Amino acid sequence: MSSIDLDYLSLHPDITCYRWPTPRLVEQAVKNNEGHLLHNLALAVRTGHTGRSPKDRFIVDDEMTHSSISWNDINQPISEAAFDGVFARVKQYFRAYSAYVEDVYAGADSRYRVPIRFIGTAAWQALFVRNMFVLPKSEKLEEFEPAWNIVAAPQMSVDEPTAHELGLRSNDFVLINFSKKLILIGGTGYAGEIKKSVFTVLNYLLPKRGILPMHSSVNVSNDDVVTVFFGLSGTGKTTLSMDPERRFLGDDEHGWSDDGVYNFEGGCYAKTIRLSAEDEPLIYAATERHGTTIENVAWNPLTRFIDYNDGDYTENGRASFSIDAIPNAIQSGQTGHPDCIIFLTADAFGVLPPVARLSPKQAAYHFSLGYTAKVAGTERGVKEPEPVFSALYGEPFFPRNHSEYIQLFMDKIRQHEVPVWLVNTGWTGGKFGVGKRIDIPVTRAIIRAIQSGELNDVKFERDKVFGFDVPSSCPGVPSRILDPASTWRDRGAYEIEQRALAEKFIERANSLDLPSEVARQNPQV
């Protein structure tokens, strides 16, 4: 907790609060009226924006990045001059505020981790950073030298004329400068912007070192069977990886190196809508502790008890907590190579089976598309299920050409002979509004059969449209639900929905620049 000189960034805050520990940050956040203590001593905050602002995120287009970034509507370019113009205003803003500074690592593997210094004007965001990243050992703090800096001012915004002049889309900004190794965040308090900006940086840097960055969760059995779960938000990636019977590595971001899998983070950022102690005991228990931050969740102002079933403010409520809140967590953040990979999708059309086995080429195809579905009520204007495709199961965070990541994925699953499975956590017996969502205990039984190898020994049937292999039985699972068509009252209606979804797959695949062997895995309609 010694002092720190921020002259190297030309930052001169009113007061600098350096490496404050969790209790002091909580106290300061309450004192600053940034949040409120709940009945369980977790810190509840409202972030203004309740999700990321992808249209406000830009990457500096300069000599380093010009030919190595896949520029598009997601990876939007901004000039060096515009970045410097925003930073000048940030530096002026900081002169009137206290700065909360935390030194952390992104990456549990010491050979590949990136030292990061966070400098922000909100104490609760400094607490979030302490929760989410890897804290240096106390004896190593004196040796810490940041490779990257994050400067965050959640209450600051750029006035409209200036924003327009600088090429910004709004008053808010999330700017990544790879040459200066600097991230600027302003106008938004949503802490996920911090987390995903760092993820984007790692996703740019690591492929050149032969590391596949993965938007995934990971758990490990007591006999060291490693399972990697890929999936978009709402598919169950966090819930299913936190199995009380297995050791937990991490819930969202990992790297696959020549030596195995390692966690990019030191904490978890779990969705809380309809969170229950019965279905998700480990996550629920982790929210019941001092130091956890609870974002945008309803709570009673008198009793300070949380209502996780109330999604009126947002369905994207979040809890951030250190990984040591999970009793069966692997504290080193490192493990061996995957023994199985599971792609999670929440198919709201009721078309995909609860589980299917993929060939390596099919695995690359599904990895390239990253399918799930939105359902009514999750976003404004969504009245019917909508297909969502996010390449690599996290398209907004992968700045290089997708082919680099796809090739790395194919090389690694072939080298290590890793089986890949598709597991549907969505609807059965009809689409959303007609059928019902597959029960979590059923999905857990399927995953345990995959992990134990029991599912390898059953009979499979080839799906005539999607081409993957569907098991005819699975231990602990009613056989009738494994064939999705048989769960529908009207088989003709099922076939209509199946064809419609298959055509969406084909349309999406045809819009991508896929390797020919991967493109040939399109559904047959």
Which residues are paired to 341 by β-bridges?
Answer: 228, 420
Contact present, 428 and 442 (Cβ < 8 Å): no
Contact present, 239 and 354 (Cβ < 8 Å): no
Contact present, 406 and 518 (Cβ < 8 Å): yes
Sequence-distant (6+) residues with CB within 8 A of 333 are 108, 109, 134, 249, 250, 262, 263, 266, 323
Phi, psi (degrees; rounded to nearest 5) at 366: -70, -35
Distances, alpha carbon 48 to alpha carbons 104, 191, 313, 405, 454, in Å: 26, 11, 11, 34, 47
Contact present, 243 and 286 (Cβ < 8 Å): no
Contact present, 146 and 117 (Cβ < 8 Å): yes
Cα–Cα distance for residue pair 86/171, rounded to 1 Å: 11
> Among residues 80, 420, 362, which one has the least CA distance to residue 216?
420
Q: Are strands 114-120 and 98-106 parallel, antiparallel or unpaired?
A: antiparallel
Cα–Cα distance for residue pair 337/257, rounded to 1 Å: 8
3-state secondary structure of 152: strand
CA 361 from chain centre, in angstroms, equals 25
Active site residues: 52, 196, 215, 233, 237-238, 252, 318
Contact present, 421 and 355 (Cβ < 8 Å): yes
Distances, alpha carbon 275 to alpha carbons 53, 242, 306, 341, 493, in Å: 25, 13, 10, 25, 33
Exposure string of 262-286, with b = 16+ CB inside 10 Å and e = fewer, is bbbbbbbbbbbbebeeeebebbbeb
Contact present, 99 and 6 (Cβ < 8 Å): yes
Sequence-distant (6+) residues with CB within 8 A of 140 are none
Cα–Cα distance for residue pair 80/61, rounded to 1 Å: 7
